[in-house]
Amino acid sequence: MLSRRQLLLKTILLAAAGKAALSANASRPTAQRIKIGACDWSIGMNSDIRAFEIAQKIGLEGLMIDVGSPENNLHLRQKDVQEAYKKESARTGVEISSVAMGTMNNHPYKSDPRTDEWVWDTIDVAKNLGVKVILLAFFYKGDLRNDEKGIQEVIRKLKEAAPKAEKAGVILGIESYLNGADHLRIMEAVGSKNVQVYMDFRNTADAGWNVMNELKLIGTENICELHMKENGSLLGKGTLPWKEIRNYLVDNNYYGDGWMQIESSNPKDADVVTNYKHNLKFLQELFG
């Protein structure tokens, strides 16, 4: 039998171990802490403040907002527009989760000199809005596949922009059709922790890459945020291995900036609110 002194010591040690375990669990990033938002363009409100009301109807926690286009002079750069977005966010209870530069699909970072100023200004926008991630899009005219010259020009520009992003506490997220090795090569060449990969599993599959192999190669530590989509199908109704994706993210403590965004999982001519409620429920159940 244990003596009274031994019993007291055992009790103290067990209590200490329990506190340590609770502390470790509290500080460990888990998928359950990731919030779910959507891209404003994917709910039919590209660069439109009315997106907050739709996001509220869906039940989303946040909204990724597009900074704008040359047609509206990238309007989110204007302080009064930023204030209007902040007020609408507060009114609806839908957070501004991150900012996107979709305009670079048609006005490529690799070749349009205006994009230098746009990226620098958007870093200020993100800081003013209190968000951590800017999505830099590299599709259509901005596609970097089989374009080594374009890749090198993007690296050069990111090297110039990265110090400002670091100072502002903002991550520049590269979203493209490139494979994991090329994404890592760009990150290594830039040499900044504030340049990371914006992971889109559907884009990866559509480009012909194995989703799980690419995810493991890139690593959760190099991913700033996630797009969750199946293009013309609802989430869970397409071909992506969502359970495998979920298990890898959870097992490897993915946290990113704290958000995943639903994008383009809306069948043609279907009701956006109804479909996005389905997509939201799918992710909530998938990640527990």
Report DSSP letters for 43-102, one per residue. Answer: GT-TT-TTHHHHHHHHT-SEEEEE---GGGTSGGGSHHHHHHHHHHHHHHT-EEEEEEEG
pTM, two decimals, is 0.88
Q: What are phi and psi of 138, to 5 degrees?
A: -130, 65
Q: What are the tens digits of pLDDT across the range 192-228?
A: 999 999 999 999 999 999 999 999 999 999 999 999 9
How far apart are the C-alpha atoms of 187 and 193, rounded to whole Å?
A: 8
Q: What are the tens digits of pLDDT across the range 90-134?
A: 999 999 999 999 999 999 999 999 999 999 999 999 999 999 999
How far apart are the C-alpha atoms of 171 and 225, rounded to whole Å?
A: 10
Class of domain 35-286: alpha beta
